[in-house]
């Protein structure tokens, strides 16, 4: 069900303008006034939400950055992944020693932060994710259809390579410290056991989830306890329980543009995020955001 009626009008409590299209945002779970963002032009920024200002900017990527993620175990560490095939690790404490506040007009000159680690891969990097209990490991989803898990203390070769998707891996999310879910533009989600130790190939997922359509776009992926949520290019939100291959619940958005109230051709779900175990936030490409409650 929708927690708020469609006719109600809601306004943001803060609006922060960027100079390029956003591709990813991530809250810092410990320093809750911090948001990291990435852009189509290849820039990673960290915002101070209380001021509405950028206070760190990193410009080492050469192409579009698709994903950023703060470590839950060490909130001073941030990872980013890009179309340039690079994964970069940043220490925000190290950067803050020589960076000063940047005016949101972007007219103020400033010094860029420097990465503390770079992993070069052979394909576009579409997503990065730290496990919840470690800042020394990182999982990467790639356009080469594979998922790579790295020990950040020794990044020459991946610790594990997960094989099973047949198209680009667009999202990876940890369900818990040893279980990972991945999303791909092959119309599937897959659940993986990450507990087996050293360097090896994993080619047998615990579960494959289907029922949604995803062949072109980033449609979102979010996990909470045993529930996994993704969007669909049919303009629907699908909720899975990790034990079952087919969805247990779904919700379809209407096809109306949020501002013009005109019908939109082929809208799709663009983002999903669990708020708690029964409340889900979802958005679509027509500019609609809905708060959904699972009964």
Ordered DSSP codes for 165-178: -SS-EEEEEEEETT
pLDDT of residue 95: 54
Stretch(es) of the chain classified as CATH 2.40.10 = 217-294
The CATH number of the domain covering residues in 217-294: 2.40.10
Cα 141 from Cα 149, distance rounded (Å): 9
For 191, the 3-state DSSP assignment is strand
Q: What architecture is the 22-216 domain classified under in CATH? A: 7 Propeller (2.130)
pLDDT of residue 2: 32
pLDDT of residue 260: 81
Pair 23, 6: CB distance under 8 Å: no
- pLDDT less than 70: residues of the chain: 1-9, 94-112, 197-199
pTM value is 0.90
Angle at 283 between CA 282 and CA 287, to 5 degrees: 155
Cα 190 from Cα 101, distance rounded (Å): 42
pLDDT of residue 11: 76
Cα 169 from Cα 82, distance rounded (Å): 13
pLDDT of residue 279: 94
Cα 17 from Cα 138, distance rounded (Å): 30
Stretch(es) of the chain classified as CATH 2.130.10.10 = 22-216
For 140, the 3-state DSSP assignment is strand
Cα 165 from Cα 288, distance rounded (Å): 30
């Amino acid at each position: 069900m929708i927690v708020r009626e469609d006719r109600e009008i809601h306004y943001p409590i803060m609006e922060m303008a960027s100079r390029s299209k956003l591709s990813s945002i991530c809250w810092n779970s410990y320093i809750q006034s911090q948001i990291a963002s990435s852009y189509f032009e290849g820039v990673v920024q960290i915002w101070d939400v209380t001021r509405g200002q950028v206070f760190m900017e990193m410009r080492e990527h050469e192409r579009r950055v698709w994903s950023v993620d703060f470590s839950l175990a060490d909130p001073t560490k941030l990872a980013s992944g890009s179309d340039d095939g690079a994964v970069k690790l940043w220490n925000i404490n190290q950067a803050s020693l020589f960076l000063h506040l940047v005016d949101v007009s972007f007219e103020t000159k400033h010094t860029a932060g420097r990465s503390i680690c770079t992993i070069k891969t052979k394909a576009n990097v579409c997503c990065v994710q730290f496990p919840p209990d470690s800042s020394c490991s990182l999982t990467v989803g790639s356009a080469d259809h594979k998922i790579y898990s790295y020990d950040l203390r020794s990044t020459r070769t991946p610790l594990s390579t997960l094989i099973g998707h047949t198209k680009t891996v667009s999202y990876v999310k940890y369900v818990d410290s040893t279980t990972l879910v991945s999303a791909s533009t092959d119309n599937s989600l897959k659940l993986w056991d990450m507990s087996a130790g050293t360097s090896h190939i994993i080619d047998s997922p615990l579960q494959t989830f289907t029922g949604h359509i995803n062949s072109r776009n980033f449609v979102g992926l979010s996990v909470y306890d045993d529930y996994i949520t993704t969007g669909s290019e049919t303009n629907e939100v699908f909720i899975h329980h990790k034990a079952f291959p087919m969805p247990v619940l779904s919700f379809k958005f209407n096809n109306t543009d949020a501002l013009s109230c005109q019908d939109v051709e082929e809208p799709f779900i663009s983002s999903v995020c669990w708020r708690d175990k029964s409340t889900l936030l979802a958005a679509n490409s027509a500019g609609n955001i809905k708060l959904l409650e699972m009964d």
